[in-house]
């Protein structure tokens, strides 16, 4: 893939996450992609990740990703961003994160997300 194609997929992927478009998010992943987060050190399947994203869309409908940095790599991309949302009680909330994404054949095969786990504490109160 060219740098432009990689960055185009990154934009499509993030836009789909932000808008809650699970079908497009799924289409960006290879069927056997692995998603890992530093806060729990667990590898997720695509299905589990989509369920998590659906939960975010329900619990935090007013959310926006402010991209601080995005760079194409030879096999994917790196992105640093801040997820900004409004909690159900009206409180403004932010989560700083960085993702390292590896791609093959135009699809995401691995996504490693590093996030500020202290910032996730308010989410525990939202329930499932």
Domain membership of residue 22 as a residue range? 3-124
Task: Count the domains in the chain.
Answer: 1
For residue range 54-77, what is the model confidence (pLDDT) as tens digits? 988 888 888 999 999 999 999 999
Contacts of residue 72, Cβ cutoff 8 Å, sequence gap at least 6: 3, 6, 7, 10
Give me the pLDDT at residue 127, please. Answer: 62
Q: Which string of DSSP letters, residue by residue, matches 103-121? A: EETTEEEEEEEEE-GGGGH
State pTM to two decimals.
0.91
What CATH number does the domain containing 27 carry?
A: 3.10.450.50
Element (H, E) at 95: strand 92-104
């Amino acid at each position: 893939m060219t740098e432009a194609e990689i960055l185009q997929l990154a934009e499509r992927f993030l836009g789909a996450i932000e808008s809650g478009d699970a079908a497009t998010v799924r289409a960006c992943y290879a069927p056997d992609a692995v998603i890992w987060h530093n806060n729990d050190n667990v590898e997720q399947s695509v299905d589990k990740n989509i369920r998590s994203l659906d939960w975010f869309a329900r619990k935090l409908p007013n959310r926006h990703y402010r991209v601080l940095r995005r760079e194409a790599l030879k096999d994917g991309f790196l992105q640093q961003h801040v997820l900004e949302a409004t909690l159900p009680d009206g409180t403004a909330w932010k989560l700083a994160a960085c993702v390292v994404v590896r791609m093959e054949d135009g699809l995401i095969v691995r996504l490693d997300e590093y996030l500020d786990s202290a910032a996730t504490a308010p989410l525990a109160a939202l329930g499932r």
